[in-house]
Structure 1
Amino acid sequence: MDLALLYSGGKDSTLAALFLDSFYDVRLVTGRFGVTDDWKHAEAAAERLEYPFEVVDLDRAVAEAAVERMREDGYPRNGIQRVHEHALERVAELDVDAVADGTRRDDRVPTISRAQAQSLEDRRGVDYLSPLAGLGRNAVDRLVEERLTVETGPSAEIPKGDYEAELRALLEADGGQEAIDAVFPEHDQSYVRGLADSD
C-alpha cells in the first residue's frame, strides 16, 4: 500500500516514516509555497535515509493568510495549524492509499482532531495515520536516540525543510527579523542527518 508522509526532515516525521515502513511503501512529501527553497533540506534528509521524496505545491494565499493570522495573534499556532491542514489536504490528492504526519501526543501545534481525520478520510478516500499520536516527547527522544543521527539547536540556526521556513521568510520580507521575533518564540529544531550506526 502506498503512503505519503508529510515530511520536514526533522526527527518526528523521520521516526514516523520508520514506524510506517513495515506496513506501507512510504513516500516522503514536503509542501512548498514557492517562497524559499528550504524544502531541499527535507529532500536531502530523505535521500540520506533512502526514501522516495516528492514536493507538492501549496496555495500561496494560504501562507499569506497564515502569516497575517500569526501577526494578529502574536504567536504562530493558528497560522501553522491552517497551513498543516492545507498541506494534508494537498498530500491526500496524491495517488496513495494513506497519508500521515509526525504529530505527537503532546504537540500543541499542529494537531489533527478525530473529526478532522475522519473528514479527510471520507472526502479524499484515504486513511489518515498519525503513528506518533500515542507517544510523548520523552518516548520520541529515546527512540530517536537509538535509531537516528540528529542535529539539534536553535530554530534560527538549524535547517528547516517544512513550511515554517517559508512562513518566516514571508514575515521577514514584510517586517524584518523583528516581525519573526514578534511571532515565533525561540525553540529547538531538529534535522536528521541519517540513521544511527548499528553495532
Structure 2
Amino acid sequence: MELGLLYSGGKDSTLAALLLEEFYDVTLLTAHFGISDDWKHARETAERAGFAFERLECDPEVAREAVERIREDGFPRNGIQQVHQHALEQLAARGFDAVADGTRRDDRVPTVSRAQAQSLEDRHDVDYIAPLSGFGRSAVDRLVEDRLEVIVGPSEEIDRADYEAELRATIVDEEGPEAVAAYFPDHDQTYVTNVR
C-alpha cells in the first residue's frame, strides 16, 4: 500500500516514516508554498534515510491567509493549524491509500482531531495515520536518540521544510526580521542529518 507522509526533515516526521515503512511503501512529501527553498534539506534527509521524496505544492493564498491570522491573533498557533489542515487535504487528494504526519500526543500545534481525521478519510477515501499520536515528547526523544542523528537549534537557524519556516519568511519579507519575534515564541527545532 502507498502512503504519503507530510515531511519536514525533522525528528518527528522522520521517526514516523521509520515506524511506517514496515507496513507501507512510504513517500515523504514536503508541503510548500513557493516562498522558500528549504524543502531541499528535507529532500536530502529523505534520500539519506532511503525514502522516496516529493514536493507537495500548496496554495500560496492559504499561506497569506495564515500570516494574516497570525497577525490578528498575535501568535502562530491558528495560522499553523490552518496550513497543516490544507496540506493534509492536498496530500489526501494525491491518490495515496493512506496519509500520515508526525504529530505527537502532546503537540499543541498542529493537531488533528478524531472528527477531522474521519472527515478527511471519508471525503478522500484514504486512511489517515498518526503513528506518533501515542508517544509523548520524552518517548520520541529516546527513540530518536537511538536511531537518528539530529541537529537542534533555534527555529531561525535550523533549515527545515516546515510551515513555520515559510510563514516566518513571509513575515520577514513584508515586515522585516524583527517582526518575527513579535509573533513566534523562541523555541528549538530539529533537523535530521542521518539515520543510524
If the TM-score is normalised by the length of the shorter chain, which range does it land in? over 0.9
Q: Distance in 1 between matches of 2:52 and 2:94?
A: 14
- 1:178 CA displacement: 2.0
- 1:142 CA displacement: 0.1
* Count of matched residue pairs: 196
Q: TM-score, normalised by structure 2?
A: 0.98
State the match for 2:23 in structure 1: 23
State the match for 2:183 in structure 1: 183
1:22-78 deviation line (CA, Å, top 9, x unaligned): 100000001110111111111111011110000011001100000000011111000
Q: TM-score, normalised by structure 1?
A: 0.97
- 1:95 CA displacement: 2.1
Q: Distance in 2 between matches of 1:156 and 1:32?
A: 17
Please tell me the residue identity of whatever aligns with 1:189.
Q
Please tell me the residue identity of whatever aligns with 2:61.
A
Taking every aligned residue pair, what percent have the same amino acid on both sides?
Answer: 65
SS at the partner of 2:176? helix
Q: Distance in 2 between matches of 1:165 and 1:39?
A: 10
Please tell me the residue identity of whatever aligns with 1:84.
H
Q: Distance in 2 between matches of 1:134 and 1:27?
A: 22
Q: How does 1:33-182 map to 2 (within 5 A)?
A: 33-182=33-182
Note if contact 1:171-1:179 (Cα within 8 Å) is conserved in structure 2: yes
Q: Distance in 2 between matches of 1:160 and 1:146?
A: 21
Please tell me the residue identity of whatever aligns with 1:60.
P
Q: Distance in 2 between matches of 1:22 and 1:50?
A: 13
Q: Gaps (5+ residues) in structure 2?
A: none
SS at the partner of 1:95? coil
Q: Which runs of 4+ in 1 moved over 4 A?
A: none
Note if contact 1:152-1:190 (Cα within 8 Å) is conserved in structure 2: yes
CA-based RMSD: 0.7
